[in-house]
Amino acid sequence: MIKALLIAPYQGLAEIAKNYKDTDNNFKVDVRLGNLEDGVGIAKQAEVDGYDIIISRGGTASLIQGKINIPVVDIKVSGYDILRILTLLKGTNGKAALVGFSNISRGASTICSILDMDLRTITITNSDEVTKKLEQLKTEGFSVVIGDVVTVHEAEKIGLQGILITSGKEAVLEAFDEAKRLYRLLQKMQSQAKIFSDALERFPRPLITVQEDGGLVFKNKKFREMLDHSFVEHVEVMALIEEVARGKEKVWKPIEYQTKRYFLVAYPLKSEKDYVNILIYNDFTQKEEGVKFYPNLSHKSIPGQSTTAVSLRNNIKRYASMNSPLWIEGEPGTGKMTYAGNLHFERFKHRAPLVSVNLMKVSMDQLQDLFFSNIERLPEEGTVVFHNIHKINEYEQERAEAFVQDVSERYQTILLSPDNVESLVKEGQLSHSLYYNVPGARIHLPPLRRRKEDIKSLVQVFIAQNHIDYGSETVGIREEAVQELMTHDWPGNIDQLKTTIEKLMAMTNNSFIERKDVETIIYRDPLEQKDLNHSIPVQGTLKDMEKRIIMQVMQEENNNQSKVSKRLGINRTTLWRKLNS
């Protein structure tokens, strides 16, 4: 049984409510008369008396909402109500204005606009504004005022004709339905909250929720067993809380407390801006430079109908289920990390994180310590993605080979590299065994210029995502604009295409990207200028021009870096450095 109280600001609304309050045996409605502050007093007592929900109207409903902790349903001014008042207005003489809170004035203003009626609409935020607004209207020659109870009473005091906006049975019955819907929703949320509370209480690691000032709000059973309240007062914990509260981002941090080491994962509550959750692990080391954690990766679509796109989609389940390492190779910008993320999501969804390891920034000794010195330092499962294994020296490659094989016994393991590493093997710069024996499968992502039939699908994905992220009004692209995009080779591959589409959406106010927009962007980009003489623009610094020259030669030599370095008269190491600077 839902127990509701309708607080009517005027007698007529109370009478309508009484006529319809018994239409549902599971919904008990009591009716009281009270306007503004009187209504607030009634609502406060109703909360004490155990009512589940309050129903009221206009300024009274607005005032009540800020004073009590139970839900308040506002009886909306319906189209029927406005039409009734406008019909009454036809029989009056003189200039008319409507004065009321936004929940009344907004709907009235819209309908008057649609009906092309000359009616001044004034929105107030509190009842103290009413008298001043009415006196101003009287000075301007208005004689009729439409509004709620307060407005009408004040209008009559200063000699204006007041017409009360009343609510009909349609609005009252709609409010009853909204009250029942809201109550059921709150019941469901309370049930879910209890489930979540029980889950946190039984969580196998210490977990606390604290306020920004360090006040302890929640501590689960594991925390109570292992630690005490003084943990929250520790200077490093307080500093961590302040850092998370200020930056509103997750922070991983080690601390020493009572001669023991702990690793803390702290993150802000999205629902409560001044609250921070802290998850506590035993004996963690500080997060190494070059090691990043991605705890909540989501699936990203692989659009397109090319052989590559279809193959990647069709094989994702097979690749994700493999227990041996995978090697993904392709030019920069072809989506290697995105596909690695999809493989991770296919296998683990959100129950485990992806760990990204840049072998140019973290040593094998540090990785051994992080992964194997204490099993609790990292999650029990997940995906580890290794970057730049082709750049480390021969000795480190030997250690990396053994390390990757060890890690793959516990985690899904993926190695990323450019698409020319086979030439490094032939030249003795990359271990033959590492490249050919370690991975259970090698996945090649071709450059965008070899799968141009996917450009249209990729563009639609980028437009849709940009629409969601930034509220862009651009919803599509003209076919001739797509054809223009397909005439270019995209040396930066999918990443460059994505950036280009974002620029196009930023520069246009239209619903569709036009061909002229594409031409404007494309020919402004030195990497995409189609010049038959292959001239290099002389804009920017010497370093910029050097990079453009290298990219031009890379394109002409189909990204064969041995040929590029020979043609440019530099060694491969120098070429790599210049490409990645």
pLDDT at 281 (0 to 100): 76
* Burial class of residue 321, CB neighbours in 10 A (0-12, 13-18, 19+): exposed
Task: Please list, in sequence order, all residues whose beta carbon lies within 8 angstroms of the beta carbon of residue 45, skipping any fewer than 6 positions away.
Answer: none
Domains of the chain by residue range = 2-75+171-186, 79-166, 202-283, 292-446, 450-528, 542-579
CATH of 79-166, one of 3.20.20.140, 3.40.50.10660, 3.60.20.10, 3.40.50.300: 3.40.50.10660
| DSSP designation for 48 | H
CA–CA gap between residue 85 and residue 90 (Å, rounded): 9
Q: What are phi and psi of 412, to 5 degrees?
A: -70, 130
79-166 matches 292-446 in fold: yes
Q: Tokens at residue 315, please?
A: 């094989």
Cα–Cα distance measured from residue 143 to residue 160, given in angstroms and rounded to the nearest whole number: 5
The CA distances from residue 564 to 239, 551, 558, in Å, are 51, 10, 9
Interhelix angle 169-201/11-20, rounded to 10 degrees, is 70
Name the superfamily (CATH) of residues 202-283: PAS domain (3.30.450.20)
User: What value, to the nearest 5°, has the Cα angle with vertex 240 and ends 239 and 243?
Assistant: 85
Cα–Cα distance measured from residue 408 to residue 38, given in angstroms and rounded to the nearest whole number: 70
Structure tokens at 107: 């709907």
At residue 558, the pLDDT reads 67
Give kind and range of the element (H or E) at residue 38.
Answer: helix 37-48
Out of 1.10.10, 1.10.150, 1.10.3470, 1.10.260, select the CATH number for domain 542-579. Answer: 1.10.10
Residue type, 132: K
Q: How far apart are CA 361 and CA 141, in angstroms?
A: 77
For residue 207, which of 223, 224, 227 has the smallest C-alpha distance? 223
Percent composition of the chain: helix, strand, coil (DSSP 3-state, to 5)? 50, 20, 30
Distance from C-alpha of 431 to C-alpha of 418, rounded to nearest angstrom: 15
| Structural tokens at position 73 | 């349903």
Beta strands in 20-148 (DSSP E): 27-33, 53-56, 72-74, 95-101, 120-124, 142-147
CATH H-level, domain 292-446: superfamily = P-loop containing nucleotide triphosphate hydrolases (3.40.50.300)
Which pTM was predicted? 0.48
CB 185 within 8 A of CB 259: no
Is there a contact between 233 and 216 (Cβ–Cβ < 8 Å)? no
Beta bridge partners of 123: 100
CATH topology of domain 450-528: Helicase, Ruva Protein; domain 3 (1.10.8)
Q: Are 97 and 119 contacting, i.e. CB atoms less than 8 angstroms apart? A: yes
Name the CATH superfamily for 2-75+171-186. Response regulator (3.40.50.2300)
> Which residue, among 424, 437, 434, 490, has the nearest Cα to 459 in the 3D structure?
490
Full pLDDT tens readout for the chain, 581 residues: 899 999 998 899 999 999 999 888 899 999 999 988 899 999 999 999 999 999 998 778 988 988 999 999 998 877 788 777 777 777 677 888 888 877 677 767 777 777 777 778 888 887 788 899 999 999 999 998 888 877 888 898 999 988 888 888 889 999 999 999 999 999 998 888 888 888 888 888 889 999 887 788 899 999 999 898 889 888 888 888 888 888 777 776 778 888 887 878 788 887 666 788 888 876 544 446 788 877 667 788 899 999 999 999 999 999 999 999 999 999 999 999 999 999 999 998 766 778 899 999 888 988 888 887 654 556 677 899 999 999 999 899 999 999 999 999 999 999 999 988 888 999 888 999 999 999 999 999 999 999 999 999 999 999 988 877 777 778 899 999 999 999 999 999 999 999 899 888 888 888 899 999 998 887 655 544 443 334 455 555 666 677 778 877 777 776 777 777 777 877 766 776 676 66
Question: In this structure, are strands 216-219 and 207-211 parallel, antiparallel, or unpaired?
Answer: antiparallel
